């Protein structure tokens, strides 16, 4: 759909403007017919020609047709690398209809949110398209395509030949997919190989003025029973202990930071047992309906120009949180905390307009909307305040501690019901230097506990920390390894864990056993290195051909090793299946 209107630009004066939209990338890349599946060995794809293909022909043609009578082209895509590349795709589509449009004359708006004055300022102060960012995205796209396609064909053909997968199945490889799978397999190995160890520790209880308190051993626990027994016997020589230190301090429970995509996905998985893909899908539907801001963002801060009061006031009509929102407006809200990240493209996720959640047909949308609103209200609230008391007890030569907490002001916790901070059991009325009778002193034992299998919030956090995917693609990578049958979800009690399938386990163990030089196909290091090299393209210290050549060389060597060892990889899969 196109929108026509008039606008006065400072440089050109009054102009007739046609505004239209795109839906993500307009084009993609492919191999020409001689390099399609079955027509060449997969290893040739590292150097094969690539061709551009139009993904959304109607959108592409609309831009070309509208550009035919245009004198200027202004790009309003996201102000990040991907948005820069999509802007270049728009330019190439416009050039199809108007060859007089030159890249140097393209206007690029620089904006991060849709507040009116911010948008007008972006329209009045255009910049140029960042071609270095365009080159970086093109490089990443080509690396992912060449590596993913060559390894996918190699693995699929080899596993089909050895009857590990059916002829209709595909064993896909991706530079983000396999590190994602690798995280899950690594955790699974740790759980399965865990051997519990017995340990011993001391526990003390005192009672004063009718109030009992349990003290924990500062040492924690030890694995030498005899040594702990000696310490315990030394302590038993004393029937009293001494309060050596008493700390009484005001403590703060910080309100949450503004919401990013990764945090949204982690919390929805943890709180609502919602997959990353479903939580992002619900948020995008709410965005398309005009209720939430754009939900794909790495930014954990809000722009200084944001109308917080107006946004809060819109929520005042709700029966669940309206009174709280009104109180913030009337009594003075707090400016939200700022995190460390700003992607320069979008602000943190927040409610844009009010909707009664009972009118939303999707349960996921209702949960996501309420969560985003409550989080935003919490961001604009005061931190919770408490008073913490910590007592240190000396019994014999050993030290023990006990703590108590009194919540004085709940503040943001009154509205952010997803987090608990409760008053704990009170300590007795103790004084520093006080001698107190030991009502119970015991030597106890226990066993170390195995790690838990991977949960989706943990996986999202690992992927984010290691640069595997972006805030916008993490959910897609998890969904991909799930749909390929490399992983499965398994519920234990109320917790849903992710574990590898026999095929996923066999692929990772087989690849890890190949002994590649300077590379691992299942670890995040190569992907992280690629992201660092892409940033060098952006800042101008490297070129796309240099980075592309270096990365292709490394993966070509890994491909050769994998190709020679396909039989061993198939045996790895077979062995895993036989063991289970």
Q: What percent of the chain has pLDDT over 90?
A: 84
Q: How would you class 335 by CB atoms within 10 Å of its CB: exposed for 0-12, middle for 13-18, buried for 19 or more?
A: exposed
- What pLDDT shows up at residue 423? 86
Q: With respect to residue 105, please indicate whether it lies within any of the assigned structural domains.
A: yes
- What pLDDT shows up at residue 304? 83
Please say which residue of 447, 473, 499 terminates a domain: 447
> Residue range 532-537: average pLDDT?
95
Please say which residue of 104, 129, 154 terminates a domain: 129
How many structural domains is the chain composed of? 4
> Residue range 441-447: average pLDDT?
97
Domain span at 280: 274-379
Instruction: Please say if 7 is a catalytic residue.
Output: no
> Residue range 73-81: average pLDDT?
90
> Residue range 185-209: average pLDDT?
96
The C-alpha angle with vertex 82 and arms to 78 and 85, in degrees rounded to 5, equals: 100
Question: Active-site residue among 91, 232, 294, 324?
Answer: 294
481 and 546 belong to one structural domain: yes
Where do runs of H (alpha helix) occur along 249-301? 261-272, 276-288
pLDDT tens for 368-423 read 999 999 999 999 999 999 999 999 999 999 999 999 999 999 999 999 999 999 88
pLDDT tens for 274-292 read 999 999 999 999 998 889 9
Q: With respect to residue 265, please indicate whether it lies within any of the assigned structural domains.
A: no
Specify which of 112-116, 216-220, 297-301 reaches the highest per-range mean pLDDT.
216-220
Contacts of 530 (CB under 8 A, 6+ apart): 140, 143, 175, 547, 551
The encoded tokens of residue 358 equal: 């009972």
Q: With respect to residue 398, please indicate whether it lies within any of the assigned structural domains.
A: yes
pTM beyond 0.85: the answer is yes
The closest of 216, 190, 221 to 205, measured between CA atoms, is 216
pLDDT tens for 118-176 read 889 999 999 999 999 999 999 999 999 999 999 999 999 999 999 999 999 999 999 99
Please say which residue of 343, 359, 379 terminates a domain: 379
User: At 385, phi and psi to the nearest 5?
Assistant: -130, 140
> Reduced to 3 states, what is the DSSP secondary structure of residue 295?
coil
Bridge partners of 206, per DSSP, are: 213, 438
Q: With respect to residue 361, please indicate whether it lies within any of the assigned structural domains.
A: yes
- What pLDDT shows up at residue 377? 98
């Amino acid at each position: 759909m196109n929108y026509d209107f008039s606008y006065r630009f400072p440089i050109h004066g009054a102009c007739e403007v046609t505004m239209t939209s795109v839906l993500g990338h307009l084009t993609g890349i492919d191999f020409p017919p001689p390099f399609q599946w079955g027509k060449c060995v997969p290893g040739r794809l590292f150097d094969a020609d690539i061709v551009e293909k139009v993904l959304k022909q109607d959108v592409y043609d609309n831009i070309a047709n509208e550009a035919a009578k245009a004198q200027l082209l202004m790009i309003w895509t996201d102000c990040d690398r991907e948005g820069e590349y999509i802007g270049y795709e728009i330019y190439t589509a416009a050039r199809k209809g108007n060859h007089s449009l030159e890249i140097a004359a393209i206007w690029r708006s620089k904006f991060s949110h849709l507040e009116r004055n911010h948008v007008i300022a972006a329209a009045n102060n255009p910049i140029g398209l960042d071609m270095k960012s365009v080159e970086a995205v093109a490089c990443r796209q080509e690396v992912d395509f060449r590596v993913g396609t060559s390894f996918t064909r190699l693995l699929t053909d080899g596993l089909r030949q050895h009857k590990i997968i059916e002829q209709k199945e595909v064993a896909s490889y991706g530079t983000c997919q396999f590190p994602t799978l690798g995280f899950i397999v690594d955790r699974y190995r740790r759980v399965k190989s865990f051997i519990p160890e017995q340990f011993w520790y001391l526990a003390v209880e005192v009672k004063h003025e009718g109030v009992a308190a349990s003290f924990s051993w500062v040492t924690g626990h030890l694995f030498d029973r005899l040594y702990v027994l000696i310490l315990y016997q030394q302590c038993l020589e004393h029937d009293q202990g001494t309060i050596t230190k008493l700390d009484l301090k005001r403590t703060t429970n910080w309100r949450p930071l503004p919401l990013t995509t990764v945090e949204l996905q982690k919390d929805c998985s943890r709180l609502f047992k919602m997959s990353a893909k479903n939580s992002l899908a619900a948020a995008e539907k709410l965005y398309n309906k005009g209720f939430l801001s754009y939900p794909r963002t790495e930014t954990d801060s809000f722009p200084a120009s944001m109308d917080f009061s107006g946004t809060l006031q819109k929520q005042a009509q709700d029966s669940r949180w309206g009174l709280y929102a009104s109180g913030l407006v009337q009594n003075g809200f707090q400016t939200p905390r700022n995190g460390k990240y700003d992607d320069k493209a979008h602000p943190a996720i927040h409610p844009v307009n009010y909707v009664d959640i009972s009118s939303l047909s999707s349960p996921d949308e209702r949960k996501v909307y309420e969560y985003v609103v409550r989080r935003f209200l919490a961001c604009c609230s005061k931190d919770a305040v408490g008073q913490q008391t910590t007592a240190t007890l000396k019994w014999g030569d050993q030290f023990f501690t006990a703590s108590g907490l009194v919540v004085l002001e709940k503040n943001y916790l009154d509205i952010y019901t997803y987090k608990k901070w409760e008053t704990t059991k009170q300590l007795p009325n103790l004084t520093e230097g006080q001698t107190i009778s030991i009502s119970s002193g015991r030597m106890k034992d226990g066993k170390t506990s195995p790690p838990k299998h991977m949960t989706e919030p943990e996986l999202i956090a690992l992927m984010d920390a290691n640069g595997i995917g972006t805030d916008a693609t993490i959910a897609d990578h998890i969904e991909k390894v799930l749909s390929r049958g490399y992983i499965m979800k398994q519920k234990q009690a109320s917790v849903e864990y992710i574990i590898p399938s026999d095929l996923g386990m066999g692929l990772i163990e087989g690849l890890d056993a190949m002994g590649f030089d300077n590379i691992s196909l299942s670890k995040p290091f190569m992907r992280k290195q690629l992201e660092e090299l892409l940033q060098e393209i952006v800042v101008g210290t490297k070129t796309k051909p240099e980075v592309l050549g270096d990365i292709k060389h490394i993966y070509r060597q890994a491909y050769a090793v994998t190709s020679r060892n396909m039989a061993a990889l198939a045996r790895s899969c077979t062995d895993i299946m036989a063991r289970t």
